[in-house]
Amino acid sequence: MSITELGRTGGGPAPNGGTDLAVRAEGLMKTFGEHRAVDGIDLHVRPGEIFGVLGPNGAGKTTMLRMLATLLKIDAGRAEIFGVDVAGNPHVIRQLVGVTGQYASVDENLTARENLWLFSRLQGIAAPRARRIGTELLGQFGLEEAADKPVAQFSGGMRRRLDLAASLITRPPLIFLDEPTTGLDPRTRGQMWDTIRGLVTDGCTVLLTTQYLDEADQLADRVAVIDHGRKVAEGTPDELKTAVGNSTLQLQLAEPGEVPAAVEVVRRVLGSDPVISPERGRLNVALDQADLAADVLIALRTAGVSISSVSVAKPSLDEVFLALTGHETDEHDETGTEENR
């Protein structure tokens, strides 16, 4: 049985069978000084699903997650986790949620094993069991060899793994992952994906944030796209793609200078603008029906715009993002690959 198949079933029977949502947030708001980082977000996460929050740098993902995890005060709106009010019962919420932050939150001065021991004992797990859980988690996350080295000597990927392991000690029913694969190499990233899918099979609900569109596409059962502190769209990855058009015509112009002319032609034929892709001379045209592609190509030929390559594809979440927010996702205002501090 492949792990991938397991993960994609989206949890099967809801673990608690009840009507309670794992996360119910209404009108969540957070202001830092003048700046409104989260501006009225509603979120409904069902038990047993992987819910992805997708947004560029500064969108407010971390701020939203920190409010839900009781790490930041909720300025306005309300949030419930498994029916428990977040603002009113922070101590209960902390027992229900495992948090893996954007930056590894483990102790540099301790070894991996000591970290897990510390967090287990702090949560009231008896010594023999704490020792067993530590060994088990170190094994699951491939950290046995490094178990007794100080975390200060760990690579970024090892820290991330230890960080996730530390969030799983009490096997919380809800897990928050803030950009779980930022800064990981492709292989480690794939392993992390498998681990996350495995959590759901174990009965957990996962709320994760990401800037990687393919990650949301790969992992999430449902996705909310947020930008400037607001939710701009929500649905399954497929629904979001369909919302933009059933398919996309990807055009590579022979002459990048002819982009304005091509835009003009597309607008005349379809009545809507194409999306100009960050690559030079690339246009993505959303189509309601795939056969409209022929009309566009003929019109371009008639107008004398020459094309070096053409393809028709299902839109990627990249295009979804472009269409929904009107700007590209790779607008880095900070360094994209911030590692663990």
Partner 1 sequence: MSTLIAPAREVVTAADRVAAARRRISIGETLGQTMMMAWRALKKMRRNPEQFFDVALQPILFTAMFAFIFGGAIAGDVQSYLPLMIPGILAQTVLTTCMATGTQLREDMEKGVFDRFKSLPIARIAPLAGPMVADLLRYTIAATLTFGMGLVMGYRPGGGAGGVLAAILLAIFTGWSLAWVFTWVGTIARSAQAVQGISMMILFPLTFLSNAFVPVETLPGWLAAFVRINPVSHLVTAARDLANRAVVSGEVAWTILACLIVMAIFAPLSVRSYKRHM
Residues that bind Mg ion (CB under 5 A): 61-62, 102
Question: Rounded to the nearest whole angstrom, what is the least distance from the CB of residue 144 to ligand ATP in the complex?
Answer: 31
Residue 236: burial class (beta carbons within 10 Å; 0-12, 13-18, 19+): middle
Q: Does 37 bind ligand ATP (CB under 6 A)?
A: yes
**Between 169 and 226, CB nearer to ligand ATP:** 226
Q: Which of 22, 23, 47, 61 binds ligand ATP (CB under 6 A)?
A: 61
Interaction partner, residue 52 (ligand ATP, Mg ion, partner 1, none; CB < 5-8 Å by kind) = none
**Between 39 and 49, CB nearer to ligand ATP:** 39
**Between 99 and 216, CB nearer to partner 1:** 99
> How many Cα atoms are found within 13 Å in the side-chain-facing hemisphere of 188?
17
CA–CA gap between residue 234 and residue 54 (Å, rounded):
10
Q: Does 139 bind ligand ATP (CB under 6 A)?
A: no
Q: Which residue is nearest to Mg ion (CB)?
A: 62
Contacts by 271-278 with C-beta closer than 8 Å and gap 24+?
275/319, 275/322, 275/323, 278/328, 278/330
Interaction partner, residue 246 (ligand ATP, partner 1, Mg ion, none; CB < 5-8 Å by kind) = none
Tell me how crowded residue 35 is: count the other CB atoms within 10 A of its CB. Answer: 10
Look at residue 310 and give its three-state secondary structure.
strand
Q: What is the CA radius of gyration of the chain?
A: 23
Whether residue 45 contacts residue 223, with contact meaning beta carbons closer than 8 Å, is answered with no
Question: Rounded to the nearest whole angstrom, what is the least distance from the CB of residue 102 to Mg ion in the complex?
Answer: 5
Tally helices (H) and strands (E) across the chain.
12, 14
Q: Which of 63, 188, 218, 329 binds ligand ATP (CB under 6 A)?
A: 63
According to CB under 6 A, which residues from 205 to 264 bind ligand ATP?
211
CA–CA gap between residue 67 and residue 37 (Å, rounded):
11
Phi, psi of 17 (to 5 degrees): 60, -15
Q: Which two tokens stand for residue 46?
A: 């069902």
Q: Does 40 bind ligand ATP (CB under 6 A)?
A: no
Q: Does 156 bind ligand ATP (CB under 6 A)?
A: no
Binding-site size for ligand ATP (CB under 6 A) equals 14
Helix or strand holding residue 85 (H, E): strand 84-85
**Between 111 and 211, CB nearer to Mg ion:** 211
Interaction partner, residue 204 (partner 1, Mg ion, ligand ATP, none; CB < 5-8 Å by kind) = partner 1
Largest Cα separation within the chain, whole Å, is 78
Cα 35 to Cα 31, 39, 158, distances in angstroms: 6, 10, 35
**Interacting residues with partner 1 (CB under 8 A):** 3, 6, 15-18, 20, 22, 47, 69-73, 82-84, 89, 91-92, 94-97, 99, 101, 103-110, 114, 118-119, 121-124, 139-142, 150, 161, 166, 171-174, 191-192, 194-195, 198-199, 201-205, 340-341
Question: Rounded to the nearest whole angstrom, what is the least distance from the CB of residue 226 to partner 1 in the complex?
Answer: 22
Question: Rounded to the nearest whole angstrom, what is the least distance from the CB of residue 41 to partner 1 in the complex?
Answer: 19
Look at residue 170 and give its three-state secondary structure.
coil
Q: Does 55 bind ligand ATP (CB under 6 A)?
A: yes
Question: Which residues does residue 43 pair with via DSSP β-bridges, in sequence order?
Answer: 25
Q: Which two tokens stand for residue 183?
A: 């800064």
Instruction: Tell me which residues touch ligand ATP (CB under 6 A).
Output: 32, 35, 37, 55, 57-63, 102, 211, 334
